[in-house]
Structure 1
Amino acid sequence: MAVIKTDLLVIGGGSGGLSVAAGAAQMGADVVLLEGHKMGGDCLNYGCVPSKALIASGKVAHTQAHAAKYGVADVAPAVDYAAAKDHVAGVIAEIEPNDSVERFEGLGVRVIEEFGSFVSPREVKAGGDIIRARRVVISTGSSPLVPPIPGLDRVPYLTNETLFELREQPEHLLIIGGGPIGLEMAQAHQRLGSKVTVIEGMKALGKDDPELAAIVLDNLRGEGIQIEEDALAQEIRGTAGAIEVETKDGRVFKGSHLLMAVGRKANIDRLNLEAAGIETTRTGIKVDAGMRTSNRKVYAIGDVAGGLQFTHVAGYHAGLIIRSALFGLPAKERTDHIPWATYTDPELSQVGLTEAQARAKHGDGLEVVRFPYTHNDRAIAERKTAGLIKVMVVKGRPVGASIAGYQAGELINLWALALANNMKMSQIAGMVAPYPTVGELNKRAAGAYFSPRLFESSKVKRIVGFVQRWLP
């Protein structure tokens, strides 16, 4: 059995692991990367990339069927579900080379296509090799959580790991889970011609601002998606093509296919963490603010660390690891500036505190600025006026932003920048945005913060009056 010595061992070739491996190798470190399944991880193969590609197919179909408001005749889209999945596969294939073994070997990374398992605090077994590393980064990600609902083990079901392989269009797709994954796939399939029922045990989009979530949910229901809340699945029965979900309150929902979208679980089972003295929690590997595990030579990043489960968070963690493991510099995670988005139509995005969180934390010191899409000229031109931006402000600085509407996932970037750099509302208001753009909403929201101070202030009016009397 060969022993490989290295500066840095990265376990997992998903988004975070690839970022660490590429950055470290290009900065001169000796790097070994282990990936026993697919390079690119969940994001490329089963998550962000394929889901957005299928959403794009659904958007095109929906546009064809709802073109009359633009002066173009509505047409019934001729959807080829298998061809839409070909489109998904094509998008993955186009991005795949960026995450390939060949590319990373070209960067100087030694890639071993095996799963890794700790045999000691500093050693990991992979296939026939033992890797002894100065530092180890665990970036094994997460996989679909499948709860032990009675009957589920006897009924065929889909997860995000199998959905994109499906070539036969579901006649009626049942989705258990009303979070981002469930609702994105619900709308995509509804627009492609399937009937869809979403079954949510609590509240759909329950982690987002309820006022803004309602804007999204109203539109989804308007498109024909049945969204059932407070519907905790109690039993599942049936066969392929004829599946029933019974909820705790006795409601029964029938469909042809079942998608489980209730959450994620950290991928730790293969790692033998006990051998390395690495502690875990209910949600994943226990880490400190520097992403170190209870074994000080080992870091955990991304989904496996049990925090926010987003690809961009794994990338952010990778930057912290480069700073700490390679340069020995202090690095501390913060989450107040981390945005997220749900890519339904309309989109839903968030960064920092929601209104409820901000009120609980800041009380009377909070000001909430609201600006509707109906006052944005570009949104009017695009017929995309269902939307609202809310900014939570404390002492002239934003502490959170919530957006529901057209391009909300793009608009949130500015507020993420503002929170990351502790910017003031005056700096946002001072920005000049091109007209007409949806991006003007951010500037107008900042302007709405100052409007009462400028236009409703008797003091300002007295000052202007005084100046006008003395100006030549």
Structure 2
Amino acid sequence: MSLAQRRLWILVSVALLVAAFFISGAHQWLTLDNLKANQTEFQRWFGERPLLVGGGFFLLYTLMAGLSLPGATLLTLLGGALFGFGWGLLIISFASTLGATLAFVIARTLARGPLERRFAAQLDSINRGIQREGALYLFTLRLIPLFPFFVINLVMGLTRMKVVTFYWVSQLGMLPGTAVFVNAGRELGSLESLSGILSPTLIVSFVLIGLFPLVARWVVDAIKRHRLAKAYHRPQGFDYDVVVIGAGSAGLVASYIASAVKARVALVERDAMGGDCLNTGCVPSKALIRAARAAHEARQAKRFGVHLGEPEVDVRGVMAHVHDAIAKVAPHDSPARYRGLGVDVVHGEARLQTPWEVRVGERVLTSRHVIIASGARPRVLPLPGIDAEEILTSDNLWQLERLPERLVVIGGGPIGCELGQSFARLGSRVHLVEEAAQLLPREDRDVAETLEGALREEGVGLHLGCRALAVEPGPSHGPQAKVLVIERADGSRSRIVFDRLLMAVGRQANVEGLGLEALGIATRSNGTLDVDDTLRSLHPNIWACGDVVGPYQLTHASAHQAWHATVNALFGELKRFSVSYRALPAVTFSDPEVARVGLSEREAKARGTAYELTRYELSELDRAIADGHDRGFVKVLTVPGKDRILGASVVGHGAGELLATFTLAMTRNIGLNKLLATIHPYPSYSEAAKASAGLWKNAHKPERLLGWLARYFGWRRRSGRLHLIDTHEERP
């Protein structure tokens, strides 16, 4: 049975049971007057058949709560009258919790999936809050009788709260209110109305009890922060509104935004402005990729009838091009430019000595807020026999003066794939080792397979599902040669001879030397700083963004976070914004390029998100055919039956540029119908977006309407020619 069929079956069953309840008149029978009138009869039944009446009562109560039917309050009173306080509280407590959980599961099964597909962005932030504080919020709501319990059951079912969490919190939270009504039920005969049970004084008491957990949590947090702040001297005044530590992508954007709104800003950097992106990451790697592509194009020119022969690669010339690119971009990130924007640029090592004081050498900067944007550095595996000084990373790679004859790359993520392919094109014999079963482990299998095929064709040796164990000497292979020992999933081992080893296994956050431990600012298990969704740390005035936080160590992700950290720091007293990564694009600049925004199939399946898949092959695109770049595809995930985009993956030439169309569509909630209606220039790669939308539209064409149109046109053909009325005057 499919999910849709199960939903339909549950919906019909619930509707029939609810209809039976009202048609039978049970809702009219469940009144206080009826219960009082039949109290003696109920007690007689219970005295004659206690197990049958007790069990039937338990099942009836569970069913009514599960179907969200009215009458639970009156049944609670009846339970108190029948079973007394002790047994009544026990039976009703478990029955009401089981019924509430049943309602929770029904709402989740019927409505959560469709609502998540329709309101993904809104529910994403709610679910993050539920994950952090859901149990506390639910407990608070259960303690306050002002909120109908059946509404709480249904609403919580639409979130991603765990069923077991919902059950135990409900069991505990509903206990006080249940006890009040069960106790009142013992005096059922003397009750005049239900309002007599919950007097205004009792309601206020429950509200205060319900608010207590939230107030207590706020007080505890305030006490913790007060104690932390009390340990340090808070300045009477401040030199700056914001001090930013780190002048990489995140720090530069944070400084720019703060200065743009006329805040006084200090930007502290211990090394070169521009950080990893300018000096060792994005800019140099793309310059290297371009040089490598030139060599590859020379080899491939014969496909187009142009014979150039084997290119001669001058590594020093290649690196000169790389450093020239860095030099041309550097003025954008220079101290002179930022000083011109009003930013006080300070060179030196920054250390927090209090939440408001940053020491840089002999100078102490005081600030209302501090934004940590200290970035990250390449991670190096501590393999036995490895010489850290000789290991290549994305930091020191750009000083090479000689092309490695035999290069081993450890890591099959974006950096490993980009650099490994580039060196292979420049003439190195490259072996790439990846512990996962595929390259780019975050991407779908078919995406990785396309890239793997291209790398193998270019001579890159791929060792997938292999773990690097150790480095050994290799004197028999040359004076500079060494051997990398790798182990496959089946336990077998092999050895790869190399001259140089490039480590590309990720990056670790720069958190050392900042004085964070003394301030109690913790790091997560992966080494990044622990901040909330608004990028605030334990201290309300210390924020963090960029690679030091993650989870996406990308330049544009850092800029995205920097906006949130800066705005929240400067204006957080009025409004704070949580960071959303729903439409965050990511590109691996290999050839073919791999680009994605939103959900992949792998992620959609892991989250249980239903989707439709539309796939368009670039071998059908005229421009790609003409250019000889017809390897790859566009894959779009949409809400079943609708054109709203959940995610898009593009593999092929210029995939990063083409992805911008889908990123804009997701950001502005533009569906495939509107993409299809947009005029794209011919012939261009951007037409692939429109063609993908066309495939989706063709799969959702109105077959019934088209059938009627076919009949209509057939009728017109059979009826003969139409007699047109000549509106011109008759000629004499």
TM-score w.r.t. the length of structure 1 is 0.95
CA positional deviation for 1:163 = 0.4
Are residues 1:345 and 2:588 paired? Answer: no
Give the drift of 1:157.
1.0
Q: Is 1:173 paired with 2:420?
A: no
C-alpha distance in structure 2 between counterparts of 1:238 and 1:466, whole Å: 80
The superposition leaves residues 313-369 of structure 1 with CA deviations (integer Å, 9 ceiling, x where unpaired) of: 001112213332233332111111101010111000111111122234355x41100
Q: 1:227 aligns with which of 462, 473, 496?
A: 462
The 5 A counterparts of 1:401-420 are 401-420=648-667
- What root-mean-square deviation, in Å, do the aligned CA atoms of Structure 1 and Structure 2 show? 1.8
Per the alignment, residue 300 of structure 1 pairs with 544
1:380 aligns with 2:625: yes
Which residue of the partner structure matches residue 245 of structure 1? 484
Q: Aligned equivalents of 2:703 and 2:464: distance in 1?
A: 49
Given the alignment, which residue of 436, 442, 447 partners 2:683?
Answer: 436
In 2, the alpha carbon distance for the partners of 1:9 and 1:463 equals 69
Does the residue aligned with 1:437 lie in a helix, a strand or coil?
A: coil
* Counterpart for residue 502 of structure 2: 259
Mapped contact 2:544–2:565 kept (Cα < 8 A): no
Equivalent position of 2:154 in the other structure: none
Conserved? CA contact 2:411–2:504, under 8 Å: yes
Match of 2:612 among 343, 359, 367: 367
Q: Which among 224, 236, 242 is matched to residue 471 of structure 2?
A: 236
Matched, 1:400 2:634: no
CA contact (8 A) 1:82 1:169 kept: no
> Quick one: distance in 1 between partners of 2:707 and 2:455?
50
Identity %: 36
Assess, with a 3 A threshold, how the Cα gap between structure 1 residues 118 and 369 changes in structure 2: closer, same or farther.
Answer: same
What is the aligned partner in structure 1 of residue 556 from structure 2? Answer: 312
Cα deviation digits, residues 117-173 of structure 1 (max 9, x gap): 111122111111111111111111110001211111467211110001111111111
The match for 1:22 is: 256
Unpaired runs of at least 5, structure 2: 1-236, 723-732
Q: Does 1:336 align with 2:575?
A: no
Deviating 4+ runs (over 6 angstroms): none
8 A contact 1:4–1:129 mirrored in 2: no
C-alpha separation between the residues in 2 aligned to 1:4 and 1:181?
Answer: 42
Cα pair 2:244 2:266 within 8 Å, conserved: yes
**Matched pairs, number:** 468
Distance 1:181 1:154, change over 3 A: closer
3-state SS of paired residue (1:66): helix
Structure of higher CA gyration radius: 2
Q: Which residue of 2 aligns with 1:85?
A: 319
Cα distance change of structure 1 residues 434 and 242 upon mapping to structure 2, 3 Å threshold: same
Q: Which runs of 5+ in 1 are unaligned?
A: none
User: Which of 8, 11, 24 does residue 245 from structure 2 map onto?
Assistant: 11
Q: 1:421 Cα shift?
A: 2.2
In the alignment, structure 1 residue 321 sits paired with structure 2 residue 560: no
Which deviates more from structure 2 when the two are superposed, residues 64-73 or residues 154-163? 154-163
- For residues 97-119 of structure 1, give each alpha carbon's deviation from its aligned partner in whole angstroms, at most 9, with x where no partner exists: 11111111111111110121111
Question: What is the Cα deviation at residue 452 of structure 1?
Answer: 2.2
* Cα separation, 2, equivalents of 1:423 and 1:357: 22
Taking a change above 3 Å as real, the CA distance of residues 197 and 440 of structure 1, as seen in their structure-2 partners, is same
| SS of equivalent residue, structure 1 residue 269 | coil
1:243–1:258 Cα contact (<8 Å) kept: no
Separation in structure 2 between the aligned mates of residue 246 and residue 194 of structure 1, nearest angstrom: 20
Equivalent pair of 2:319/2:399 in contact (CA under 8 Å): yes
The amino acid that maps onto 1:379 is: A
Q: 1:154 to 1:60 in 2, by over 3 A?
A: closer
Q: Distance in 1 between matches of 2:448 and 2:349?
A: 40
Taking the aligned partners of 2:386 and 2:617, their CA distance within structure 1 comes to 44
Task: For residue 467 of structure 1, report the CA deviation from its aligned partner.
Answer: 5.4
Shift of 1:274: 2.1
Match of 1:151 among 376, 380, 385: 385
The structure 2 residue matched to 1:463, chosen from 697, 708, 713, is 708
Residue 21 of structure 1 aligns with an amino acid whose one-letter code is S
**8 Å CA contact 1:201, 1:230 repeated in 2:** yes
* Inter-CA distance 90–154: structure 2 relative to 1 (3 Å threshold): closer
Within 5 Å, which residues of 2 pair with 1:86-235?
A: 86-153=320-387, 156-202=390-436, 203-235=438-470
Q: Which has the higher strand share?
A: 1
Normalized against structure 2, the TM-score is what? 0.62
